[in-house]
Structure 1
Amino acid sequence: MSDTLTIIRPDDWHLHLRDGAMLRAVLPETARHFARAIIMPNLVPPVVTGAQAAAYRERIMAALPEGMSFEPLMTLYLTEDTDPEDVAAAHASGLVKAVKLYPAGATTNSASGVSDFTKVRAVLEKMAEIGLPLCVHGEVTRADVDIFDREAVFIDTVLDPLRRTTPELRVVMEHITTSHGVDYARAGGETLGATITTHHLIINRNHILVGGIKPHYYCLPVAKREEHRLALRAAATSGEATFFLGTDSAPHTDSNKEQACGCAGCFTATNTMSLLAQVFEEDGALPNLEAFTSKNGPAFYGLPQNTGTLTLRKAPPSYPKKILTGEGEVTVFDPGYPLTWEVASA
């Protein structure tokens, strides 16, 4: 087997950049390796209109270091007051590539999300009409549903009925974490795609809980049993067009992670490509890495593949353990074992 691998420059189809000092610190960690990324809109306040998305894009581009090439793909945060015509105009302008659905209370900064899905019916119908994808955080937030069952219940009680009501709507199941999610996505046809994070390919719930609570492995959706991790790896490494990379890289300062009620999220932007190369090699699927990171996502979103390339080399990489930001230190995801692939050029 060759000790180098060159692929089309990858994209990240689910990324948190935050704003202000945090944005300026973490943006280079993505732009170093990735050509484009779907930017999550859950700021405070959230990005809900086309004008707000345009302003956020300007802040992202202003924070991009000189000499780096990166295209932020903007999204709107779906609320029960979202205007279908504003969504359509933002899409027609070329600015907005997707709308993000957060069930209210599901994750970080999701308080403005949707509780009554009948109130967003007009928006979803307009999106189906114009071909604008809906990115879904697929968890219910009912108190009577165990946190490890939230994804499966969401698929059965919310997502499937929604797709049956609006079958033309293009939907991305973001950061799937269960074999149930894999099976549903695989059977969903051309209008359904699914992103898988880097960290969910590597950790299961034992990593969070065994031997003491590990706050830097705590994420939402929470990591599940080992059988689900293995199902995710099989899907990611399969080369199937349904599955593509969305890191859900989510920077939180150590002070916000390491406390009694710590924030959910793993920061993987820095070392994702090295992590993925090792996962795919372990599963005998290195030839499929390019499909997962560089081909399947653009195909689903109707965008061209990138023209540049990224080359990985079999050698131990050197990554910082922490990223220094104006708000405090952010810990880079640690898989718990030495890495064997480095990014030689991008």
Structure 2
Amino acid sequence: MRFTQLNEIELPAAFDAHVHLRDGEMSQLVTPTIRQGGVNQVYVMPNLVPPVTTVQQCLAYRDQLKAIEPNVDYLMSLYLHESITSEAIREAKKAGIMGVKSYPAGVTTNSSSGVIDYETFYPVFAEMEKQNMVLNLHGEVPSTPSHTHATKDATAITILNAEPAFLPTLKALHEKFPALRIILEHCSTAAALEAVRACGPAVAGTITAHHLSLIIDDWAGDPFCFCKPVAKTPEDRDALLNAVVTSKGRFFLGTDSAPHDQGKKRGEDKVAAGVFTQPNAVAYVLDALEKGVERGVVEEGDVTLEGLEGFFGGWGRAFYQVGDGRGEKVVLRKGAGRVVDVLEKDGLGVRVVPFRRGEETWSVEWK
């Protein structure tokens, strides 16, 4: 196929391997938008307040989500916390929980209870390896506090080099637990892609929709494009685009769609980290690939139907060892959709501004 000449594409319904659905009113607002984006299966992040650290909390959360939108398959995770034990991992496996998400302490939204020392959790990782569960890594290290200074032998950490600084930790964990299934989440640099490729087949990476379009200049001037990890250079963005169409399964869609109330993105002292992409998840990726081909940084021949089906669902489902029991398909039409300016709903006190608000994109129709 010649991708840029297509006006319509039929694909299996997508699997989004990294979503934030929050709770309370925000969950009521955003959970119904999963299917709008062409997705019928999601892997749900556990960084609520308080974080989801027990099997009981996790299953109750899944029930809440199912009550809001029953036509989505929710794969669940626990938050890596000091209360997580080997016994808890065995209990989680029996309950059908898929994995455990690691956040370095303080690097992003609701991560204050995160990891300080990974070696502390080696017994947990060993049990996860034994139980064939997935370790999801937020691959950044905390920034050096602004009131301190790095020593002459140490590099100061900022949001721009926080991901590259984490990559030795990924390598060390993989070497220690070579059969442990690990996902480096929301890769944002060429270096992260290379780090995943350098590991064995037990390691994969997710790529978001927004990192395929954004660079530093975009989020520096627009709080609605600010996320963690932040978008990096044009070269990094283009490396991500090529990974989508040439990785043959090492990378797959994980949007990291992260809703925040409009006021928290613009009206408070600090800008909340997160880009909301759920209602147009598949469409954003197709738009980014088309622009990549037009710029000459993606070979049009590399954009194949097989590759799109893999990135949007097949490869992620294979890594998580799950099927798509619904067998649904979607039809996407170029230029027939439009991103809403604000997502809101009568009776709810939260409003969310989506990525590329007001712009034209692909429409999604369920077959």
Per the normalisation by structure 1, the TM-score is 0.93
**Residues 20 and 166 from structure 1, CA distance in 2 versus in 1: closer, same or farther, beyond 3 angstroms?**
same
Alpha-carbon distance in structure 1 between the residues aligned to 2:113 and 2:343: 29
> In the TM superposition, what whole-angstrom CA distance separates every residue of 1:208-237 from its partner, at most 9, and x where no partner exists?
22xxx3100100001111110111111012
Structure 1 residue 73 displacement after superposition: 0.6
Q: Deviations over 1:188-218 (max 9, x none)?
A: 2210010000000001011122xxx310010
Partner of residue 34, structure 1: 39
Instruction: Give the 3 Å change call, closer, same or farther, for CA 58–171 of structure 1 in structure 2.
Output: same
2:331 maps to: 311
The within-5 A match list for 1:165-314 is: 165-209=176-220, 213-258=221-266, 259-282=268-291, 283=293, 284=300, 285-287=303-305, 288-305=307-324, 307-314=327-334
Matched, 1:57 2:56: no
Partner SS for 1:59:
helix
SS in 2 for 1:12: strand
Identity value in percent = 35
Q: Offset of 1:142 from its aligned partner?
A: 4.4
Structure 1 gaps, min length 5: none
- Provide the rounded CA distance (Å) in 2 between the counterparts of 1:176 and 1:230: 12
Tell me whether 1:334 sits opposite 2:356 in the alignment.
yes
Match of 2:18? 14
* Contact 2:76–2:99, Cα closer than 8 Å, also in 1: yes
Query: Residue 109 of structure 1: SS of its match in structure 2?
Result: coil
Q: Is the 8 A contact 1:202 1:335 kept in 2?
A: no
| CA distance in 2 between partners of 1:218 and 1:114 (Å) | 23
Q: Residues of 2 paired with 1:242 and 1:47: CA distance?
A: 28
SS at match of 1:256: helix
Q: CA RMSD in A?
A: 1.6
8 Å contact kept, 2:338–2:360: no
How many residue pairs were aligned? 337
Residues 319, 338 of structure 1: alpha-carbon distance in 2 compared, 3 angstrom cutoff: closer
CA contact (8 A) 1:195 1:246 kept: yes
Partner SS for 1:266: coil
- Between the aligned partners of 2:320 and 2:21, the Cα distance in structure 1 is 21
User: What secondary structure sits across from 1:235 in the alignment?
Assistant: helix
Kindly indicate whether the alpha-carbon contact (under 8 Å) linking 2:41 and 2:73 is maintained by their aligned counterparts in 1: yes
For 1:62, what is the secondary structure of its paired residue?
helix
Q: Work out the CA distance in 2 between the residues paired with 1:335 and 1:236.
A: 24
The answer to whether the 8 A contact 1:50-1:87 is kept is no
Q: 1:26-78 deviations in whole A, cap 9, x for unaligned?
A: 001113321110100000000001111011111111222xxx51011110000
Q: 1:146 Cα deviation (Å)?
A: 2.1
Secondary structure at the aligned position of 1:247 is classed as coil
Write the letter of the residue equivalent to 2:317: P
Residue 129 of structure 1 corresponds to 130
- 1:231 is matched by which residue type in structure 2? A
Note the alpha carbon deviations across 1:91-113, whole angstroms, 9 max, x for none: 1222x111000011111000111
Shift of 1:275: 1.4
Contact 2:107/2:143 (CA < 8 Å) preserved in 1?
Answer: no
Matches within 5 A, 1:141-160: 141-143=142-144, 144-156=156-168, 158-160=169-171
Report deviation, 1:328.
2.1
Report the secondary structure of 1:104's partner residue: coil
Report the AA paired with residue 222 of structure 2.
K
Find the partner of 1:74 among 70, 76, 86: 76
Deviations 1:96-150 (A, max 9, x none): 1110000111110001111122221111000011110100000011413122111
Do the aligned partners of 1:277 and 1:286 also contact (CA within 8 Å) in 2? no
- Give the SS at the match of 1:329: coil
Closer, same or farther: CA 58–123 of 1 in aligned 2, 3 Å? same
Kindly tell me: are residues 118 and 186 of structure 1, through their superposed partners in 2, closer, same or farther at Cα, counting changes over 3 Å?
closer
Closer, same or farther in 2 for the Cα pair 1:172/1:335, shift >3 Å?
A: farther
TM-score normalised by structure 2 residue count: 0.88
* 1:316 Cα deviation from its structure 2 partner: 2.8
Measure the CA separation in 1 of the matches of 2:238 and 2:30.
30
Does the 8 Å contact 1:3/1:313 carry over to 2?
A: yes
Q: Larger deviation: 72-81 or 323-332?
A: 323-332
Letter in 2 for 1:6: E
**Conservation of the 8 A alpha-carbon contact between 2:140 and 2:163:** yes
Say which SS state the counterpart of residue 219 (structure 1) adopts.
Answer: coil
- Tell me how far 1:286 sits from its aligned partner: 4.8
